[in-house]
Amino acid sequence: MSSINIGIIGTGSISQFHLDAYEANQNVKITAICDQNKKRANDIAQKYGAEYVFENYEDMLQLKELDAISICTWNNSHAKLSIASLKAGKHVLVEKPLCITVEEAEEIQHIAKETDRVVQVGVVRRFDPNTQMVKSFVDGEMFGDFYYAKASSLRRAGNPGGWFADKEKSGGGPLIDIGVHVIDLCWYLMGKPKPVSISANTYYELGNRSNVKHVPFYKAADYDPTKNNVEDMANSIIRFENGASLMLDVSFTLHATKDETAVKLYGTKGGIELAPELKIITEQHDTMLNILPQTVSPKLDVKKAFTNEINHFIECCQSGEEPISSLDDGVQMMRILNGIYESANRRQEITL
**Binding residue for ligand NAD, selected from 25, 70, 77, 152, defined by CB under 6 A:** 77
Does position 48 interact with ligand NAD (CB under 6 A)? The reply is no
Name the one range near ligand NAD by CB under 6 A: 10-18, 145-153, 267-275, 316-324.
Answer: 10-18
Residues 175-194 that bind ligand NAD (CB under 6 A): 177
Name the one range near ligand NAD by CB under 6 A: 44-52, 215-223, 260-268, 270-278.
Answer: 215-223
Name the one range near ligand NAD by CB under 6 A: 8-16, 129-137, 333-341, 342-350.
Answer: 8-16
Does position 104 interact with ligand NAD (CB under 6 A)? The reply is no
Q: What are phi and psi of 140, to 5 degrees?
A: -80, 10
Does position 153 interact with ligand NAD (CB under 6 A)? The reply is no
Contacts with ligand NAD by CB under 6 A: the residue count is 28
Q: How far is CA 178 from CA 5, 114, 173, 181, in A?
A: 30, 31, 8, 6
- Burial pattern 56-74, b for ≥16 Cβ within 10 A else e, equals ebeebbebeebbbbbbbbb
CA gap 312, 135 in Å, rounded: 16
Does position 7 interact with ligand NAD (CB under 6 A)? The reply is no
Does position 330 interact with ligand NAD (CB under 6 A)? The reply is no
**Binding residue for ligand NAD, selected from 23, 40, 197, 281, defined by CB under 6 A:** 40
Does position 122 interact with ligand NAD (CB under 6 A)? The reply is yes
CA gap 152, 263 in Å, rounded: 7
Task: Give the contacts of 227 (CB within 8 A, at least 6 positions apart).
Answer: 161, 162, 165, 166
Does position 95 interact with ligand NAD (CB under 6 A)? The reply is yes
Q: What are phi and psi of 151, to 5 degrees?
A: -125, 125
Does position 340 interact with ligand NAD (CB under 6 A)? The reply is no
Does position 75 interact with ligand NAD (CB under 6 A)? The reply is yes
Name the one range near ligand NAD by CB under 6 A: 67-75, 243-251, 261-269, 331-339.
Answer: 67-75
Whether the upstream peptide bond of residue 174 has omega within 30° of 0, thus cis, is no
DSSP assignment of 69-130: EEE-S-GGGHHHHHHHHHHTT-EEEEESSS-SSHHHHHHHHHHHHTS---EEEE-GGGGSHH
Name the one range near ligand NAD by CB under 6 A: 11-19, 147-155, 251-259, 282-290.
Answer: 11-19
Residues 216-235 that bind ligand NAD (CB under 6 A): 220-222
**Binding residue for ligand NAD, selected from 22, 48, 74, 143, defined by CB under 6 A:** 74
C-alpha torsion sign, points 221, 227, 231, 232: positive
List contacts with ligand NAD (CB under 6 A).
9-15, 34-37, 40, 57, 72-75, 77, 95-96, 122, 124, 162-163, 177, 220-222
